[in-house]
Copies of this chain bind each other. A is one copy, B any other.
Amino acid sequence: MTARQRQDGDGEGSTANRTTEPASGGLDVRLGAERLATAVDAAAAVADECRLTVGDGMAFRARDPADVAMAELRLDREAFDAYEADEATFGVALDRLGDAVSLAGDESVRLRLGEDGRFDVSAGAVEYAFAPIATEAVRAVEWVDAGSVAASATMAAGDLRRAVRAADLVADHATFAVDADERTLTVAASGDTDDVRLDFDESDLDALDAGAVESLYSVDYLRDIVGAIPSGVPVTVEFVGGGEGGCPLSLEHAFAGGDGTGRWLLAPRIRR
C-alpha cells in the first residue's frame, strides 16, 4: 500500500462529489461485528467523528480536535466475509456506528449504503439506519509517513498499558526514551513528589532497534490510545524523526486476527 492510498480518497473535489451523490458509490459488506467494533471504538479514542475510506478494504481515520493524535484503523479485504464496494470516502459519527454495531452482539454484521444515502447496519433481526456526515466537515488525516525512524521497539500491549497506567498515577505527561548503549526502552514520569519508571530491556521486548531518543507525551492521550489497543498483541513503537525538542510517537499493531492494522501517531509535548 502506498502512502497515497492511505490518504483520504483521491482529493477533496472527488470526495465531495461522492458525498453529494451517494447512490453512485455502492457499499455492501459483511464482517464479524467484533472486528468492526474494535475499529470503531479505537477511532473513537481520539475523536467523535472519523473519515471512513472504502477501497480494497476499509480504513477509519480520525484526528483529535487539538491535532495532537491521529488514528488509522484499517481492515483489509480479507477481514470481510463479503465485500462489494466502490471507492469512496464518508464522514462517520463514531457513536452512531458504535451503537449500531453493539446491537449485533457477536454476530456477523452487514454494512450497506442504502438508496436513501444512509448507512444501514444489520445483524440478525436488527437493522439500524443513520446518515453519514458530510465528508468535508470531518477533519482530514494526512498520515506522516515520511519521517525517518530514530528508534523502534516491539513490546506486548499489556506492557505498554502498564507503563501508561503507572505514569498516569503520578503525572500528566510521560517521557519515552531509548538508550542506545544500554539497549533499553524507558517510560518515566515525575509528579510533585513521586516518580515512576519502567525499564524494558531486550529480554522484555520482542524487538529493539535502538537509537538515542527522548520525548515527552501527554498521558491523557496515551491512556486513551493504549485503552483502544487490543490485549495480547505486540505493538511496534517508533520514534519518528527524533529531533531535539521531541518526536512523534508512532504505534502500530494488528487486530481482526491479523486482517486489520491499527496505527497511531501522537505529537510530542514540548517540555515546559
Contacts and interface: CB of A to CB of B under 8 A. Distances in A.
A106 interface: no
B130 A198 contact: no
A interface, over-half SS: mixed
B99 A129 contact: no
B103 A165 contact: yes
A210 interface: no
- Number of chain A interface residues as a range: 20 to 34
Contact of A125 (B125, B128, B198): B198
A231 to B, nearest CB: 14
Contacts of A105: 162
A79 interface: no
A183 interface: no
14 contacts: A103-B162, A103-B165, A103-B166, A125-B163, A125-B200, A125-B204, A126-B162, A127-B199, A128-B166, A129-B196, A129-B197, A130-B193, A131-B193, A131-B194
Interface of A: 96, 99, 103, 105, 125-131, 159, 162-163, 165-166, 169-170, 193-200, 204
